[in-house]
């Protein structure tokens, strides 16, 4: 009897072990099926953010990346689902302008009804690097104020790459932290060594620092050693390039002015402006005497240098936070990192109004108004020339937001075409009166109505009001057209031409009716600004084709087939030949 | 008496076994559905890829004068000679530069019956685009073949130099074949003695 019992209990034990193994195996297999792996030949799509850590109320770039994992692909059709409760776009007026890419984009739109960002395009020339993480596009977004926790971005179900290859989609989940900006430390207060910032010339309104668009912002960088001997400093400062640029754009490193009296060696210095990672970096070491470092130490703040920023003229209203990266280092004589904290500074971008009282009073801006001219003094008669009047000091004109609502026609399209109802066009504006340098371009989507008139809106966040604008319009298969009037007209296609601009653009919405002239077809993808033998050959060699890939480059009237109509339109363009320029 | 506990434990064991198998089956079902869902996400739809033009450094273009005699109107006839390295050409661009005001192009004539020419004259250069008629199916391989004849009027009484150039601004001298491949040919310059 006892033997039977023993046998039974052994059987039971074995059976239970087998069953548990089966269960565990099932759970393991289930997890394997859902775990992401980089399979060779299967591209992976994923997200990252810049900066890497998100903070409440802060701007960031959502970066869409791909690793082909050995697959060959050129084209992409990406759909990103975002959470509007937690994030918004930096440009809230024209959402599509938040999307940028180094590749050709056929479509870039934001569907706020379904919270989907759509980006379609292709890499030209060679395929995506087969085993590298490559940025496809980025979207300028911001974390809403007061939002904490996690924010997720997920791939839409219709996301495709290449010729509809199998792919792996990795959704993004990022943690939002609260902005922690430490106050500038006061000498004598017990605290560890730190790196902190100050902008003493920043006007303050209502207790908040405020900087105008186009204003210089000199950021002072201080080291506090707390009387501990320091032998080296690595300083890293991330910056928001949608708000800030540099005073010297020709030589970015020149915007890092190091203080020669800081005690650090002025010969062995590393300075870098990383425009990709959007970081300022400099590294300092102390001088060496008799093979011994001469450390820097002080109870007071030591000015290391000044970073010469400038608020972008097209910066949106908002807050700028500058906070040294916590990966910065302060090394003591034992090469130990003794950095305890970093101190940043925050200010707003906006316009000082007449009722604002800047504290301290900012020095007024000086215009280009010339001093009065004086007759030259007689020779050999020395005397002192004094001005007879004080020149007027005024503020320079400020750009305003403008929307251009325009309508036009494409040559050869007299009704709503079969294949395409919405396409991107490039709009360029230039005014001589406003400024010799006011040349700005944007891409705008246009849609067609039943009578073949295409309409759309181009948004410029900051343009100077002026009465003499010239506008250039270029379609995806068309030669660029220069337009100088609000409502130009022509008796025959391609006959309209002009030289001097007469378009007045004011703040707000400007209505431009160009539908009495035709944009001439003929500069086919890949566009080179001229209608030539290659463009003619594309249509001639593909007559009769309905292949989508061919239609994208040779279906000039968007009717879904490459035929003699397209061929004739390109032939006509040979007489016009090249883009109108400014 | 001892059989009762055994029967009970057997029943319990069977129940546990059944439960485990049910759970296992459910897990397998979930796994299977996850796999099908991934396949369903891949909607078949072709993507558009804008191709990069294929450019070949092949072929040649040169200029020759038809006769050395000056005509009664002081005009000169010159020809453009082309070679296309066995490729059948459907269109070409020829860019020729000259000293500003040194000549006037009076006429441009295609020497190939199924090609039409579209000349464009500028201050110091002219461009000739030749296009094969869409309905022509003949082979258009150029082998030292005169393709265009120009009648020019020299305006200055000294040597005239005509340069076939590979590019001038956005314009390029090129030939395009039936597969839309671009040939960038070898080019020469041409000196014409007026007197």
DSSP B65-127: ES-SSPPTT--EEEEEEEE-TTPBEEEEEEEEE--TTSEEEEEEEESSTTEEEEEEE-SSEEE
Q: Are A165 and A69 in contact (CB under 8 A)?
A: no
Q: Write out residues 76-115 of A within 8 Å (CB-CB) of B.
A: 76-77, 104, 106
* Same-domain status, B109 and B21: no
- CA distance linking residue A59 with residue A47, whole number of Å: 16
* Same-domain status, A203 and A311: yes
Q: Among A139-153, A235-249, B113-127, which stretch is predicted with the lowest mean pLDDT? A: A139-153
pLDDT tens digits, residue range A545-576? 999 889 999 999 999 999 999 999 999 999 99
Q: Answer yes or no: is B166 within a domain.
A: yes
Residue A357, pLDDT > 70, answer no
* Same-domain status, B112 and B181: yes
* Same-domain status, B124 and B151: yes
**A208-211 and A302-311 beta bridge pairing:** unpaired
Q: Answer yes or no: is A335 within a domain.
A: yes
Angle at A563 between CA A559 and CA A568, to 5 degrees: 105
B129 and A532 within 8 Å at the Cβ level: the answer is yes
* Same-domain status, B61 and B7: no
pLDDT tens digits, residue range A157-177? 788 898 778 888 888 888 887
Q: Answer yes or no: is B45 within a domain.
A: no
* Same-domain status, B31 and B86: no
* Same-domain status, A138 and A216: no
Q: Answer yes or no: is B186 within a domain.
A: yes
Q: Answer yes or no: is A17 within a domain.
A: no
User: Does the CB of A8 have a partner CB in chain B at under 8 Å?
Assistant: yes
**pLDDT for position A39:** 67
The H-or-E segment that residue A26 falls in is helix A2-34
Nearest CA in chain A to B179: A541
* Same-domain status, A151 and A287: no
Count up the domains in chain A and report the number. 3
Which residues of chain A lie closer than 8 angstroms to B51, CB-CB? 124, 549, 553
Q: Answer yes or no: is A182 within a domain.
A: no
* Same-domain status, B102 and B17: no
Q: Answer yes or no: is B47 within a domain.
A: no
The single-letter DSSP state of residue A359 is B
Categorize the per-residue pLDDT at A361 as very low, low, confident or very high, splitting at 50, 70 and 90: very low
For chain B, what percentages of helix, strand and coil (3-state, to nearest 5) are there? Answer: 20, 40, 40
Q: Answer yes or no: is B48 within a domain.
A: no
Q: Answer yes or no: is A274 within a domain.
A: yes
* Same-domain status, A404 and A550: yes
pLDDT tens digits, residue range B30-56? 877 765 554 444 433 344 556 778 888
* Same-domain status, B110 and B154: yes
Count up the domains in chain B and report the number. 2
Residue B139, pLDDT > 70, answer yes
Q: Answer yes or no: is B49 within a domain.
A: no
Q: Answer yes or no: is A549 within a domain.
A: yes
* Same-domain status, B11 and B83: no
Q: Are A211 and A203 in contact (CB under 8 A)?
A: yes
Whether the CA torsion B105, B107, B111, B116 is positive or negative: it is positive
Which residues of chain B lie closer than 8 angstroms to A23, CB-CB? 20, 23-24, 27
Nearest to A373 by CA among A391, A399, A355, A360: A391
Q: Domain boundary residue among A349, A376, A411?
A: A349
pLDDT tens digits, residue range A76-125? 999 999 989 889 998 888 898 899 988 888 888 999 888 999 999 888 77
- CA distance linking residue B124 with residue B100, whole number of Å: 4
Q: Answer yes or no: is A214 within a domain.
A: yes
Q: What pTM was computed for the model?
A: 0.48
Q: Answer yes or no: is B50 within a domain.
A: no
Residue B169 backbone zone (phi > 0: left; psi -120 to 50: alpha; other: beta) = left
Q: Answer yes or no: is A29 within a domain.
A: no
Token couple for A225: 């050693």
Which residues of chain B lie closer than 8 angstroms to A27, CB-CB? 27
* Same-domain status, A311 and A405: no
Q: Are A270 and A281 in contact (CB under 8 A)?
A: yes
What is the ipTM metric for this complex? Answer: 0.75
Categorize the per-residue pLDDT at B117 as very low, low, confident or very high, splitting at 50, 70 and 90: very high
A530 and B170 within 8 Å at the Cβ level: the answer is yes
* Same-domain status, B108 and B142: yes
Which residues of chain A lie closer than 8 angstroms to B34, CB-CB? 30, 33-34
- CA distance linking residue A47 with residue A42, whole number of Å: 17
A19 and B34 within 8 Å at the Cβ level: the answer is no
User: Residue B158 belongs to what domain range?
Assistant: 55-192
Q: Provide the CATH number for the domain around residue B97.
A: 2.60.40.680
Task: Give A527's Cβ-side CA count (13 Å radius).
Answer: 19
User: Residue A324 belongs to what domain range?
Assistant: 194-349
Q: Are B96 and B160 in contact (CB under 8 A)?
A: no
Angle at A532 between CA A528 and CA A533, to 5 degrees: 125
Q: Answer yes or no: is A35 within a domain.
A: no
Q: Provide the CATH number for the domain around residue A269.
A: 2.60.40.680
B47 and A77 within 8 Å at the Cβ level: the answer is yes
Nearest CA in chain B to A551: B48
* Same-domain status, A141 and A229: no
* Same-domain status, B187 and B94: yes
Q: Which of A106, A161, A534 sits opposite B182 (nearest CB)?
A: A534
Residue A277 backbone zone (phi > 0: left; psi -120 to 50: alpha; other: beta) = alpha
* Same-domain status, A229 and A144: no
Q: How many CB pairs under 8 A join A and B?
A: 142
């Amino acid at each position: 009897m006892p033997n039977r019992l023993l046998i039974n209990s052994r059987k039971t034990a074995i059976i239970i072990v087998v069953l548990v193994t089966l269960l565990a195996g099932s759970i393991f297999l289930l997890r394997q099926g859902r775990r992401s792996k980089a399979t060779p030949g299967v591209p992976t799509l994923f997200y990252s953010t810049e900066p890497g850590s998100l903070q409440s109320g802060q701007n960031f770039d959502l970066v869409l990346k791909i690793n082909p994992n050995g697959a060959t692909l050129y084209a992409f059709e990406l759909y990103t689902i975002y959470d509007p409760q937690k994030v918004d776009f930096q440009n809230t007026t024209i959402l599509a302008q938040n999307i940028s890419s180094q590749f050709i984009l056929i479509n870039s739109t934001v569907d706020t009804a379904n919270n989907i960002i759509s980006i379609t395009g292709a890499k030209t020339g060679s395929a995506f690097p087969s085993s590298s993480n490559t940025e496809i596009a980025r979207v300028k977004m911001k974390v809403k104020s007061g939002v904490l926790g996690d924010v997720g971005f997920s791939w839409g179900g219709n996301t495709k790459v290449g010729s509809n290859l199998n792919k792996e989609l990795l959704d993004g989940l990022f943690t939002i932290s609260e902005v922690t900006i430490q106050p500038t430390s006061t000498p004598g207060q017990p605290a560890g060594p730190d790196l902190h910032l100050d902008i003493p010339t920043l006007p303050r309104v209502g207790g908040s620092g405020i900087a105008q668009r186009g204003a210089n912002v000199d950021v002072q960088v201080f080291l506090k050693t707390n009387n501990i001997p320091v032998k080296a400093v690595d300083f890293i400062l991330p910056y928001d390039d949608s708000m800030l640029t540099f005073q010297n754009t020709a030589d970015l490193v020149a915007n890092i002015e190091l203080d020669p009296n800081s005690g650090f060696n002025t010969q062995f210095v590393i300075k870098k402006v990383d425009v990709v990672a959007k970081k300022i970096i400099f590294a300092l070491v102390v001088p060496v005497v008799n093979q011994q470092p001469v450390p820097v130490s002080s109870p007071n703040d030591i000015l290391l240098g000044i970073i010469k920023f400038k608020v972008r003229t097209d910066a949106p209203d908002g807050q700028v936070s500058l906070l040294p990266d916590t990966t910065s280092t302060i090394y003591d004589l034992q090469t130990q990192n003794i950095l305890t904290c970093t101190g940043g500074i925050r200010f707003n971008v906006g316009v000082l109004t007449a009722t604002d009282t800047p504290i301290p009073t900012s020095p007024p801006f000086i215009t280009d108004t010339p001093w009065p001219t004086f007759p030259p003094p007689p020779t050999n008669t020395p005397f002192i020339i004094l001005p007879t009047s004080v020149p007027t000091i005024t503020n320079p004109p400020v750009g305003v937001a403008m929307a251009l609502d325009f309508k036009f026609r494409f040559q050869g399209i007299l009704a709503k075409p079969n294949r395409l109802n919405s396409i991107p066009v490039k709009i360029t504006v230039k005014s001589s009166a406003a400024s010799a340098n006011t040349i700005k371009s944007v891409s705008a989507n246009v849609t067609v109505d039943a009578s073949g008139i295409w309409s759309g809106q181009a948004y410029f966040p900051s343009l100077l009001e002026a009465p003499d604008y010239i506008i250039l319009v270029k379609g995806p298969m068309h030669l660029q057209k220069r337009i100088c009037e609000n409502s130009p007209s022509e008796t025959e296609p391609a006959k309209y031409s002009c030289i001097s601009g007469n378009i007045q653009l004011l703040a707000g919405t400007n209505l431009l009716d160009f539908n009495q002239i035709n944009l001439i077809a003929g500069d086919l993808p890949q566009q080179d600004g001229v209608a030539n033998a290659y463009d003619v050959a594309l249509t001639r060699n593909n007559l009769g084709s309905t292949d989508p890939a061919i239609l994208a480059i040779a279906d000039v009237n968007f009717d879904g087939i490459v035929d003699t109509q397209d061929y004739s339109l390109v032939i006509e363009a040979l007489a016009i030949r090249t883009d109108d320029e400014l | 008496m001892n059989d009762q506990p055994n029967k009970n434990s057997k029943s319990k064991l069977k129940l546990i076994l059944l439960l485990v198998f049910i759970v296992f089956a459910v897990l397998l079902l979930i796994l299977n559905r996850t796999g099908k869902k991934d396949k369903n996400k891949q909607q078949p739809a072709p993507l558009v890829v804008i191709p990069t033009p294929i450019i070949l450094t092949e072929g040649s273009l040169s200029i020759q004068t038809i006769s050395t005699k000056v005509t009664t109107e002081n005009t000169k006839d010159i020809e453009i000679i082309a070679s296309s390295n066995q490729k059948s050409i459907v269109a070409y661009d020829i860019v020729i530069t000259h000293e500003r005001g040194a000549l006037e192009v009076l006429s441009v004539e295609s020497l190939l019956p199924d090609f039409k020419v579209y000349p464009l004259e500028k201050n110091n250069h002219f461009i000739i685009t030749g296009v094969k008629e869409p309905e022509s199916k003949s082979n258009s391989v150029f082998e030292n073949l005169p393709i265009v004849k120009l009648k020019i009027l020299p305006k200055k009484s000294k040597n005239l130099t005509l340069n076939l150039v590979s590019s001038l601004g956005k314009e390029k001298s090129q030939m395009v074949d039936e597969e839309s491949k671009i040939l960038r040919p070898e080019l020469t310059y041409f000196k014409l003695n007026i007197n």
